[in-house]
Amino acid sequence: MHPAKSVIAFTTLSGLGFGLLIWLGLGAPAVTGRSAFAFFTIAYLLATGGLIASAFHLGHPERGLKAFTQWRTSWLSREGWAALLALGVMAAYGAGLVFLDTRWALLGWLGAGLSLGTVVTTAMIYTQLKSVPRWHMALTPALFLCLSLAGGALLAGQTRWAVPLLILAGGLQIAHWRRGDGALARSGTTLATATGLTGGSLRAFEPPHTGPNYLLREMVHVVGRRHATKLRVIALALMSVVPVVLLLAPFSHALAALAVLSHLTGVLTARWLFFAEAEHVVGFYYGAR
């Protein structure tokens, strides 16, 4: 799939933002007043920044409200509702913390649940796609969720949680890659099922047009194998290994900030790979794998 900057930014940033909101909703850290304001600002900037980034991806953002109508079938619509509700609930909850120094715990739990739900719906948008076997597995929401929780914990300064979650996320990421690498083959879709042609070995001869097209740009992105392996190592290191090492070192604000930065860069890289490595089955028609 085409690794569109807007979508990579959206999923990464909003994942972090909602991750942070989850922790805030759970009351970890138990902040109020100005520091609550600071935490909530960061969370909202990340979460809504991501949403705004995703709007760049739309052909008609001005019709965005229509996207709330199809929650019964569409994960994208559900994501919209979940995000809206999460942000609304968390806003009320945050207002209590910031302005009234009051923690409405129940509301916090609810907000955390909705934020978690938002992350899951985001992941489900990809997971549901049978046409992209690398995404079409339970590991995808698990990974998204774990990354969100880990990143949130990191931002929330929940080192105790952050370290195991980062390690778990690293593990899930490795599992996702490994299962993902065989997913296309396991899906059963091949050039032969795509064309129904039998009787010998099959080869895509000529593309339908010599010119480029939307499908190729959007769905048939080929990353070099060597390149991908290198990026995986970098992503894993930045996303999990480096932050864990930094968190285990004696605490300093600078190191914590570095850990966040490293994690963010790592997730962005992993997310780039998430898209760039994902093979859409339409690629078979174009002779891509």
Partner 1 sequence: MSHRQPDLNLSPKVSDEVRKTTCYMCACRCGINVHMKRGADGTQQVAYIEGNRDHPVNKGVLCAKGSAGIMQVNAPSRLRAPLKRVGPRGSGQFEEISWDEALEIATGWLKPLREKAPEKLAFFTGRDQSQSFTGWWAQKFGTPNYAAHGGFCSVNMATAGIYTMGGSFWEFGQPDWDYTKLFILFGVAEDHDSNPIKMGIGKIKARGARVIGVNPVRSGYNAVADDWVSITPGTDGLFILSLIHVLMTAGKIDLEYLARYTNAPCLVAEAPGTPEHGLLLRGADGKTLVIDRASGALTPFDQPGVRPDLSATHTRDGILYRPVLHLMAERYLSSDYAPETVAERCGIPADKIRAVAGEIARVAFDEAFELDRQWTDFRGETHPTMVGRPVSFHAMRGISAHANGFQTARALHVLQILLGTVEVPGGFRFKPPYPKPAEIHPKPHFNVTPGAPLDGPHLGFVQGPEDLALKVDGSPARIDKAFTWENPMSAHGLMHMVISNAHAGDPYKIDTLFMYMANMAWNSSMNTRSVMEMLTDTDESGTYVIPHIIYSDAYSSEMVAYADLILPDTTYLERHDCISLLDRPICEADALADAIRWPVIAPDRDVRGFQSVLIDLGVRLGLPGFVDESGAAVYADYADYIVNHERKPGIGPLAGWRGEGGNKTGRGTPNPGQMARYIENGGFFVSHIPKAASYYKPWNAAYQNWAVESGLYDSPQPYLFQLYVEPLRKFQRAAEGHGEHQPPEHLRDRLKTVMDPLPIWYETDQQGNAGFTVNALTQRPMAMYHSWGSQNAWLRQLHGHNPLYVPTRLMREHGLRDGDWAKVTSPHGEITVPVREMAALNDATVWTWNAIGKRKGAWALKGDAPEATRGFLLNHLIHELLPPKGDGLRWANSDPITGQAAWFDLKVKIEKAIPPDESQPAFAPLTSPVGQGPDHLEWKVGK
Partner 2 sequence: MTELPDTTKRKLGLVIDLDTCVGCHACVISCKGWNTENYGAPLSDQSPYGADPSGTFLNRVHSYEVQPKEGAAQLIHFPKSCLHCEDAPCVTVCPTGASYKRVEDGIVLVNESDCIGCGLCAWACPYGAREMDAAAGVMKKCTLCVDRIYNDTLPEEDRVPACVRSCPAGARHFGDLGDPDSAVSKLVVERGGIDLMPEQGTKPVNKYLPPRPKDRITETAPRLTPVAQDIGGFLGWLDRTLERLPGGDS
Min. distance of Cβ 24 from partner 1 in angstroms? 37
Nearest-CA neighbor of 7 among 188, 277, 275?
Answer: 275
- State both tokens at 39: 């935490």
Q: Which does 175 bind (CB under 5 to 8 A by kind): partner 1, partner 2, none?
A: none
Closer CB to partner 1, residue 28 or residue 223? Answer: 223
**Binding residue for partner 2 (CB under 8 A) from 206, 224, 250, 253?**
206
**Amino acid identity, residue 263?**
H
Closer CB to partner 2, residue 32 or residue 187? Answer: 187
How far is the first Cα of the chain from the last one, in angstroms, to the nearest whole number?
12
Give the binding range for partner 1 (CB under 8 A) out of 127-135, 188-196, 208-216, 256-264: 208-216
CA distance 194 to 252: 56
DSSP string of 123-192, one letter each residue: HHHHHT-TTSTTT-STHHHHHHHHHHHHHHHHHTT-HHHHHHHHHHHHHHHHHHHHHHHHHHHHH---HH
Site for partner 2 in 134-163 (CB under 8 A): none
Nearest-CA neighbor of 40 among 80, 78, 91, 106?
Answer: 91
**Binding residue for partner 1 (CB under 8 A) from 205, 224, 250, 253?**
205
**Binding residue for partner 1 (CB under 8 A) from 188, 211, 224, 250?**
211
Site for partner 2 in 182-201 (CB under 8 A): 187-189, 191, 193-201
Chain residues in the site for partner 2 (CB under 8 A): 1, 57-61, 63-64, 66-70, 72-77, 80, 125, 128-132, 187-189, 191, 193-209, 211-215, 218-219, 280-282, 285-286
